[in-house]
């Protein structure tokens, strides 16, 4: 497929509360370094990262996912976004996440409900904004049965105070969604999802659609490589579908993910301008029902 003239509008739109976004967005995690995860790789070229962000907006991307803990020794994703895009376009939606944090040395910590305001304010300072469009409460690993009511309630208070416009949850379960919805509206669920990942989330994805909640997969391209990026070779099924469409394996993975429902968004991240163009173009790739089924049957999916 030809990528050069395709914009994010080709993927269609969905609403995050009262905010309409194209279903292909951009994840900022990989902007700060080349390879590795959270400070383990080589710092990225600042000028190139800024150029990628500006090109993303030129290609119609109006949904950027970031966090204050996306930084490497020399780069901060939020600072790059601020430098590249402020003053921000009126239609640009910036989504961030709180609960986890990293101190200046890179060590992880997890906020108490009372500390969430400080994390929100840190994102506001870095981005140069007076409110955040969407804030996801990122549930800690291994906390699938843990209550999120106290933390989500604190975020709901920040929403009432005007610091946050809309709320979401990340790395969450159906139980977490039900718990959150009893406290305040939820516009999105952001979970790992894609070909070969977390089969349990198929039902959760569908349930989100039934409730009008966006499902926003991360690692749709990276798969089991997670934060470190795509590492394992793509399987025969993915490669066969890619050849049939003259597309890349990454584009097939994104297209498959988007075609799981009209409420499914994608936030592929890259610091490579060519990969950015290909990722955006994946929103125009339409797989057949037979191809969707074949890919859905890939082991692990």
Give the C-alpha separation, 93 to 91, whole Å.
6
Q: Which of 69, 70, 193, 218 is catalytic?
A: 70
Cis peptide before 280 (omega within 30 of 0): no
Positive or negative torsion for Cα 76, 80, 86, 91: negative
Retrieve residue 249's tokens. 């394996």
What's the longest Cα–Cα distance across the chain?
A: 53
Contact by Cβ (8 Å): 1, 281: yes
From the number of C-beta atoms within 10 Å of its C-beta (0-12, 13-18, 19+), residue 274 rates as: exposed
Half-sphere exposure of 299 (CA within 13 A, CB side): 3
Q: Compute the chain's Rg from CA coordinates.
A: 18
For residue 263 the two structure tokens come to 């409420």
Task: Let me know if 96 is exposed, middle or buried by CB neighbors in 10 A (0-12, 13-18, 19+).
Answer: buried
Phi then psi dihedrals of residue 248, to 5 deg? -90, 160
Distance CA 283, CA 254 (A): 8
Chain centroid to Cα 228, Å, comes to 15
DSSP-derived letter for residue 142 is T
Q: Is 193 considered catalytic here?
A: no
Contact 268, 257 (CB under 8 A): no
List, by residue number, the catalytic residues: 70
């Amino acid at each position: 497929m030809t990528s050069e003239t395709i914009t994010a509008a080709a993927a269609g739109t969905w609403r995050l509360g009262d905010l309409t976004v194209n279903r292909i967005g951009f994840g900022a995690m990989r902007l700060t370094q080349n390879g590795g995860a959270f400070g383990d790789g080589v710092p990225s070229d600042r000028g190139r990262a800024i150029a990628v962000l500006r090109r993303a907006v030129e290609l119609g991307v109006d949904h950027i996912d970031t966090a204050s803990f996306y930084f490497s020794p020399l780069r901060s994703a939020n600072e790059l976004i601020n430098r590249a895009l402020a003053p921000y376009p009126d239609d640009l939606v910036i989504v961030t996440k709180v609960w986890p944090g990293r101190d200046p040395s890179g060590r992880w910590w997890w906020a108490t409900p009372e500390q969430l305001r400080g994390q929100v304010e840190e994102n506001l300072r870095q981005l140069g904004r007076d409110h955040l469009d969407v804030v996801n409460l990122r549930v800690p690993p291994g906390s699938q049965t843990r209550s999120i009511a106290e933390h989500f309630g604190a975020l709901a208070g920040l929403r009432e105070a005007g610091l946050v416009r809309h709320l979401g949850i990340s790395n969450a379960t159906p139980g977490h969604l039900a718990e959150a919805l009893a406290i305040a509206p939820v516009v999105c669920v952001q979970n790992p999802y894609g070909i070969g990942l977390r089969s349990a989330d198929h039902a959760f994805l569908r349930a989100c659609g039934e409730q009008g909640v966006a499902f926003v997969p991360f690692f749709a391209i990276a798969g089991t490589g997670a934060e470190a990026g795509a590492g394992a070779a793509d399987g025969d099924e993915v490669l066969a579908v890619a050849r049939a469409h003259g597309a890349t394996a990454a584009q097939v993975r994104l297209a498959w993910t988007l075609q799981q429902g009209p409420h499914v968004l994608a936030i592929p991240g890259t610091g490579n301008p060519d990969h950015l163009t290909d990722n955006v173009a994946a929103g125009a790739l339409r797989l057949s029902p037979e191809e969707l089924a074949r890919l859905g049957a890939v082991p692990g999916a």
